[in-house]
Structure 1
Amino acid sequence: MTQAGPPSHDASRAGRRPRRAGYGQPGRSAAIPVAQLQRRRSVKIPGPDHPITVEPFADTVTVVFNGKTVARSSNALKMQEAAYPPVYYIPLDDVDRAVMAKTAHRTYCPYKGDASYYTVTVGIESAENAVWAYEAPYDAVGAIAGHVAFYADRVDSLTVG
């Protein structure tokens, strides 16, 4: 016996408005309101299986790109997340914001929230999405609001100490 499949697209949608292009098709996305996306996302709380600590860092963190110091801070925060290497979040007041331009790139972390990215440009050299920030981080890591972090492999140097 042959099992019948679902009704054809035309039959099941007869008399209804056509779907938006790409909606419901693998590999294609439709415009979904941000509020709706946020309701769907899982939020995780750091704990024994995925610990996250954020604490003031006693030494200086310096970031150099294309020979220019673009950030230097003795007020950085050190984030230790699970078994990952530490990440140093630098207050925006200690960053040369004139060399940063926000990009359209965004990512989501269930522990920290939505991240925005910035390209750093000094002279004719640019490092795309070399900087990220959690502008409205989740409460568990709320201290990193107003701070940015740099990918060490996209700048000349990120010196700690």
Structure 2
Amino acid sequence: MTPGHRITVEQGSEHVRVVRDGQVLAESRRPLVLRETGCPVRYYLPPEDVRTDLLTHSDTHTHCPFKGDADYWSVPGANDLVWAYPEPRPEVAGIKDHFCFYDTETV
């Protein structure tokens, strides 16, 4: 890690829900909470709690020097709305194959 840059991943108990155009895309009471210096808190949801049948895999891939390479998924009207790290860096191994959405709400 870069000096001053920190990432933590913890098991959360928040009730996280993702709704797009009135449709629930994901709902979880067991998110992984990722806190990263300079970034908003992100909730990584287990695949069992995500409506993957509503997601379309996209051609977008990004690289984060702290987390690794991410794959993206879209829904109609929202490209690259969700991402996951199939092979994350060892420091954040817990987020492997968990889905993270740009817009989440805790309820």
Q: Could you tell me the TM-score, scaled by structure 2's length? A: 0.94
Q: Distance in 2 between matches of 1:108 and 1:159?
A: 26
| Alignment pair present for 1:52 and 2:7 | yes
The equivalent residue for 2:93 is 142
Q: Which has the larger radius of gyration?
A: 1
Higher helix share: 1
Higher relative contact order (CA 8 A, sep 6+): 2
Q: Tell me whether 1:61 sits opposite 2:16 in the alignment.
A: yes
Q: What pairs with 1:12-161 in structure 2 (closer than 5 Å)?
A: 45=1, 48-121=3-76, 126-152=77-103, 158-161=104-107
* Larger proportion of strand: 2
- Tell me the amino acid that sits aligned with residue 62 of structure 1: R
The whole-number CA distance in structure 2 between the counterparts of 1:76 and 1:148 is 10
State how far apart, in whole Å, the 2-side matches of 1:133 and 1:114 are: 9
**What SS does the corresponding residue of 2:91 show, helix, strand or coil?**
helix
Task: Return 5+ residue gaps in structure 1 as ranges.
Answer: 1-44, 153-157
Aligned identity (percent) is: 37
SS class of match (2:5): coil
CA RMSD of aligned residues (A): 1.2
Letter in structure 2 aligned against 1:127: A
Q: How many residues align?
A: 107
What runs of 5+ residues in structure 2 fail to find an aligned partner?
none
Give the Cα separation in 2 of the matches to 1:92 and 1:58: 16
Q: Partner amino acid for 2:5?
A: H
